[in-house]
A and B are shown apart, each in its own frame.
Chain A
Amino acid sequence: MRRWLWILVFALGLAGAQTVGNEPPPDLPPKVFEIAKKLRCPVCRGESAAESNAGVTEEMRRQIAEMLAEGKTEDEIIQYFVDRYTEWILYEPPKRGLGLVVWLAPVIGLGLFGFGLYSYLRATSRRAAELEGVSDEELARAEAELGRDDEGGPPS
């Protein structure tokens, strides 16, 4: 019974794995994967067309290999997929329009949080300047109370 089940499973699995009968899939040179990495897998999330083993991406890699063999350039191949799927197929957002917002994320973050840090530091040092009158002795005592970074083990 179990063996029979396995044969069934096996057959089903193969149907999924190899879409074109018992023909071997094409040989793919490294360049195919380099290009496929720049395209997304249309049916998965978080995978490029180079990584996914979905049927669609196997077909995409085959097409890339064919177009390379025809002598098409990388840009032409990518354009072919953009024409078919729109720019969504590119695995990185376009560097213009709305897409620019996400490309500038580090700059925005650095500006936002950097400004926060800057104004914080300016405020604290201004307050420190106001407290100039405090004696070194008092400062040292305060420092001793704060400087407990040698403490180890769970807090007790």
Chain B
Amino acid sequence: MNPSILGNIGLVLAVFFSVAGLVAVVFSWFLRDARYVRVARRSALLAFLGTFVAFGALEWALLSDDFSIAYTARNHTSASPTWVKFATLWAALEGSILLWALLQTLYTWLAGRRMRDYWTSPVALGTLFVIQLFFLVNVLFVINPFTPVPNPPADGPGPNPLLQNHWMMAVHPILMYLGFVGLSVPFAYAIAAMVTRRYQTWVGETKWWLIFAWGFLTAAIFAGGWWSYEVLGWGGYWAWDPVENASFIPWLLATAFVHTAMVQERRGLFRSWNFALVTLAFAGTVFGTFLTRSGVIESVHAFAGGPVGPIFLGFLLVILAVGFSLLGRVSSEVRDVGSVNVWSREGLLLFGALVFVVMAFVVILGTLFPLLVEATSGAKVSVGAPFFNQLFVPLGYAMLVLMALGPLLPWRRADPETLRVIAWMAVSLVLGTAVGLAVGWTLWVSLTVGLFLFNLVALGWLVASPLARKSRALGGVRAGMGSLAWTRRRYGGYLVHFAVALTALAIAFSQSYRLDVQKTLQIGEAWQVAGRTITVHALRAVEDPHRYSVIADVEISGMGLRQPRLNYYPTSRTPFASPSVAYTLGKDYYLVLQAFDQENAQWVTLRLVVTPLVLWLWVAAVLMALGTAMILWPARRTARAGAAAGEVGA
């Protein structure tokens, strides 16, 4: 047995059981026999195990430095540290699709376990089987990582050095794929709902999966931003790179859908639109994969081209065609009824969703615009960060206003009681903006401060008032028992909203007040800059098995010794600058070693980037993850624990 044979056996089994599952759900659908769904569920588990065997085989080859298969021979080196060897599995095209397939089969199995409706589950499961088959067939036949190499090399070139430079590379892709792949479950339920013409209940059934996937997408985007900040050495966290945009588009559409799903659940409205949103969100994940694997763009994320690009484009078109042709029928059948008061919870939820959809539209158009212009007129244009930053300011403000007001208002009607709160919010908005302007911040930053306070007052009232009301009504005793889980979920939502407001604040300050400067210093020389003294103490070299590093020992007054470095990898002609970041609650001091004296080690050239409030982005990310976890935590356990403990709350 060797990794090549084992991996192929795993893949063949996975394909076999996926087909078996697909056949079973087809039988179940046409014979109207629920027993076949059970067969399909077992096949889903076996398909997952098969893919897991293939995954294990590739890890085995990587960890044992076996260069007899194509993937390791091309992307691996025995000099890598163990964690890099492990993460090398998703550092290149073939392995990353294998990881995708693994997570897809996992989701299919887990989602299948939860399907109880024998009417819709054959279609939902069938859709998931088709999706996973697409990935598995690709890994097995088109980009098989286990292809034996005739003359195995003694060692390989190793993964892209940029991906070895930080441990986040082991985490960020998995989070991203968990988010991307997770959106396939709501999509599958939507297809099932459209086929079986059960247009209402699917959003409730799939909400948990939707928020689960949304949480991972959010975490992945923040993790990617932090990785970019820590590794790329330009002092920023978001560059509006086409691939970043490609991950942002499904996030925006999923966020819109999270909100419109509530409108459908509660009021039975927006049913056709939700089918469109979930189809577009899932198609967006495939679009991102297409961009990174097709060679259409070049970036940190791009993998080598090959046949995969057109295949993914075809898959994307199939998804859109299936989703929208079914939707055509839905929209002629679905006649939503209900008047919507604009000044109500659902009114604002719909407007919020509108803002997110417009944001997605701007990102899609901005990302594709250079390609469109070049294809039609041959002219070249650049659509970069300054463009997106300017357009996202007004859209972001609209979002901040709506997200504060939405949760305050009751369903269906405007509430006179909340008008007083809104008055206080308006006062805090004006005050915050005025104080900001008085301090000397720009209008945009001051407005963001005002809107942050606007949100804070709203959330403060939401958190404080039900507690106060409840304790008044029930003497504060049995207040929560029945609705404990419900309260927790609501507070989870508030926490996410707070974190979004915090993110907006951090973005406004860090984008507006960034200081970027470069200077050459002699060893021992002190540099007065940005209120600190920066002294270079020494320049030294360190040799690791997999790289060579030049390190500058630089002291920032009051912040200790920092060690920006340049890492040299054998596969790359240019060195990779590893910045050193001194995080503080106020400003981050970000040092990059730009160049150094190679002959006498007498001087170093440092780039210093001072950016305010960046730390709060990472705090906001943690809060968002916590809030999402609060929403997702299963309710039954809490309820059961409460019941078992009797009236412990007393």
Interface, chain A (partner B; CB < 8 A): 3, 5-6, 9-10, 12-18, 22, 24-30, 32-34, 37-38, 40, 44-48, 50-53, 61, 86-94, 98-99, 101-103, 105-106, 108-110, 112-114, 117, 120-121, 123-125, 127-129, 131, 142, 146-156
> Cβ of A105 and Cβ of B365 under 8 Å apart?
yes
> Cβ of A9 and Cβ of B244 under 8 Å apart?
no
- A112 to nearest B CB, angstroms? 8
* CB under 8 Å from chain A, chain B span 361-382: 361-362, 365-366, 369, 373, 377, 379-382
Between B299, B390, B568, the greatest number of chain A beta carbons within 10 A of the residue's beta carbon is seen for B568
B489 within 8 A of A: yes
- B608 to nearest A CB, angstroms? 10
Q: How far is the CA of A99 from the CA of B267 in the complex (A)?
A: 41
- Chain B residues with Cβ under 8 A from A153's Cβ? 208, 634-636
B416 within 8 A of A: no
22 of the cross-chain contacts (CB-CB < 8 Å) are A9-B568, A14-B575, A17-B595, A24-B520, A29-B517, A34-B516, A38-B386, A53-B234, A53-B574, A91-B386, A92-B386, A93-B381, A102-B383, A105-B361, A106-B361, A106-B362, A109-B358, A121-B340, A148-B204, A151-B207, A152-B489, A153-B635
Decide: A30 near B208, CB < 8 A? Known: A53-B233, A109-B357, A120-B273: no
- Chain A residues with Cβ under 8 A from B574's Cβ? 13, 16-17, 53
> Cβ of B394 and Cβ of A40 under 8 Å apart?
no
> Cβ of B548 and Cβ of A155 under 8 Å apart?
no
Of B63-71, B321-329, B498-506, B598-606, the one touching chain A: B598-606
Chain A: which residue is nearest B115 at the CB level?
A155
Of B17-25, B169-177, B331-339, B619-627, the one touching chain A: B331-339
A53-B233, A149-B266, A152-B485 given; name 19 further pairs at CB < 8 Å: A6-B548, A9-B548, A13-B573, A17-B575, A46-B299, A47-B241, A61-B518, A86-B380, A91-B386, A91-B387, A103-B387, A109-B361, A114-B354, A124-B269, A127-B335, A147-B265, A152-B634, A154-B209, A156-B114
What mask results when residues 114 to 144 of chain B are scored 1 for a CB within 8 Å of chain A, else 0?
Answer: 1010000000000000000000000000000
- Chain A residues with Cβ under 8 A from B520's Cβ? 24-27
Q: How far is the CA of A18 from the CA of B204 in the complex (A)?
A: 59
What is the interface size of chain B, counting residues whose CB is below 8 A from a CB of the partner? Answer: 94
B298 within 8 A of A: yes
Chain A: which residue is nearest B267 at the CB level?
A146
Interface, chain B (partner A; CB < 8 A): 114, 116, 200, 204-209, 232-234, 236, 239-244, 262, 265-270, 273, 297-299, 335-340, 350-351, 354, 357-358, 361-362, 365-366, 369, 373, 377, 379-387, 390-391, 394-395, 483, 485-486, 489, 515-520, 543, 548, 566, 568-570, 572-575, 577, 594-595, 597-599, 603, 605, 607, 633-636
